[in-house]
Amino acid sequence: MATRGRRSDGDHIADLYRRIYQVVRRIPRGHVATYGQVAELAGIPGGARVAGAAMRGCPPDLGLPWHRVVGKRSRGMAKVSIHDPVGGGIQSSMLEEEGVIFTAAGSIRLEQFGWLPTDDRPARGRRKRR
């Protein structure tokens, strides 16, 4: 599928999607990232929609923390963009459980819970111990 038809059997999902899942997986608990951020880190600048499409078909087998991915509504403010009333409720509950606080309007302050992809990579071989 997907015009490239490389992997005939199994196939599953495009390698690009896999990269997106990998990015979502590295989001620290208690923080949230936007689709645009995930897409850019995955190698798709401006492909926020693609990240969403990938999340929509997120395989539960990977235990992907998709609930940490939110839609950037305004500068410094994000909100759950899931169209599913049930899934959206689950995501809010999960985030709240992780310590994320929602405003009265149901938005999240990125300046407080926004994930900053900077600290990662101790370089000196010193692995960060979680």
Partner DNA sequence: GCAATGACGCTCT
Partner DNA sequence: CAGAGCGCCATTG
Q: Which is nearer to DNA, 75 or 129 (CB)?
A: 75
Give all strands of the β-sheet with 108-109 in edge-to-edge order: 33-34, 69-74, 77-79, 108-109
Closest contact distance (angstroms) between CB of 114 and DNA is 11
* Residues 4-63 interacting with DNA (rule: CB under 7 A): 14, 16-17, 34-37, 44-53, 55-58
Distance between CA 119 and CA 68 in Å, rounded?
Answer: 18
Q: Which is nearer to DNA, 25 or 49 (CB)?
A: 49
> Around Cβ 15, how many Cβ atoms within 10 Å?
10
Closest contact distance (angstroms) between CB of 116 and DNA is 15
DSSP, res 34: E
End-to-end distance of the chain based on CA atoms, in angstroms? 38
- The residues of the shown chain that bind DNA, judged by CB under 7 A, are 1-3, 14, 16-17, 34-37, 44-53, 55-58, 66-67, 69, 71-75, 77, 81-83, 87, 91, 105, 107
